[in-house]
Chain A
Amino acid sequence: MTANPQLNRSGELTHLLSIEGLPAPILWQILDTARSFVNVGEREVKKVPLLRGKSVFNLFFEASTRTRTTFEIAAKRLSADVINLNIATSSQNKGERLLDTVDNLAAMNADMFVVRHAQSGAAHFIANHVAPNIHVINAGDGRHEHPTQGLLDVFTIRHYKHDFSSLRVAIVGDVLHSRVARSQIHALSILGCPEIRAIGPSTLLPRDIGALGVHVYHDMHAGLKDVDVVTMLRLQNERMQGPLLPSPQEFFKNYGLTPEKLAVARPDAIVLHPGPMNRGIEIDSSVADGKQSVILPQVTFGIAVRMAVMSIVAGN
């Protein structure tokens, strides 16, 4: 067995780099622990002392407000000190090498790095470089993975559906460029979800997606039939102009989630979206704000899930 870079010698989670390759018990531990953190978030005092005195660096080489903010809140609710570095606008522009940046922060006695980078494998690269007492969490690397998003998606699904063993889940839209989709697909398969569907135009679905055990659909009515969960992906604006898509209007007509299309899913189906939403492009406002939408609970749960991941890796 080759060593899994996310696990320490006792097989415990020490970095979170990808969902792929994680043993199921670790996923369950994260989900169970996050449940306790949801209760903490509902208290008057929303903080626990677990990471008191620890320094968490948010290393964002790619712009992101929401993910960075939720990691920041999560770290603060664990009583850590948080330093946000938007490196897209900082020393990288002066030509500093990535690992020099990391070494400098390690010299400031960093305990944890939360890394967002446009390059797939960046968090992995940093994790291989740092001393064993430093923990690395991937907050999105290129098209590869966004593991905490995948975890908060399955946490949300578990919250409403309780159990994965008989679920049908559809993931709709730009699966090809989506690290969110990749992480969610891995998480669902590890947790035993029997049927995962990807729905979208063939230009936006990875050619090898069948290898992950995912069923491919190009038609919404067929793909959404009787599903329990619908995950809508954000259509990234930068892809709208390219040759992959005709036009936003055309995309909405075929793949935008409207009440009519959602009606073929199970009546108690829930709708997820990782945010930020493009209303009127991938999702209709009446669905986004409708009673099947769990998009805002996803945000709340996302903090609890990130607290769980941070406290588990920090303790190992």
Chain B
Amino acid sequence: MMKQWKLKEIVLMSIFGVVFAVIYLLFYFFGQGLRNFLTPFGLAPFGYEVIFGIWFIVSIIAAYVIRKPGAAFWSELIAGTVQVLIGSPAGPRLIISAAIQGLGAEVVFAATRYRNFSLYVLVLAGMSAAVFSYAWGWFQSGLAALTPGLIAATFAVRVLSGALLAGLLGKYISDQLAQTGVLRGYALGKELQEKREKEAS
């Protein structure tokens, strides 16, 4: 399964997982605050939904940088597991949630046979992760207990958030990283290098 992966790619994916586990956890508390803020306006269920996309971002970054089958899935799963290990209030089910979100992003990349990593595909992957996570949340987080109007609205917001905060922001951060030259040994860095050489010639 990991045969075509280089060790440095795995370590990189794992470090991404660890970094974003910390960021994810910070956003969990940020979301909590956002929700408390929105409660008097009757918009509390949207507290988490608007920033939900951030929880898919590591899938997008890992897949876009490394471009190997499984990158989106494993990186998200690692981020989820590390969150549990450093103490997330969401508990062990987070590992399952992470696996499902990662799978959501992974299927989009798999559908392109890991050949297309354009913005459009990345955004689609973010949205797909959102759809998967909503389906899971239906059982998990008690979304089923909400009123139908709210369900439609929260679903729409989450998908949009996935598109922007995971797809778009993920690409932006990865591209910025590639500019620093540290990704020279990975697929994204190589692509950038080739582009530059073409422009130069």
Q: Do A and B belong to a common assembly?
A: no
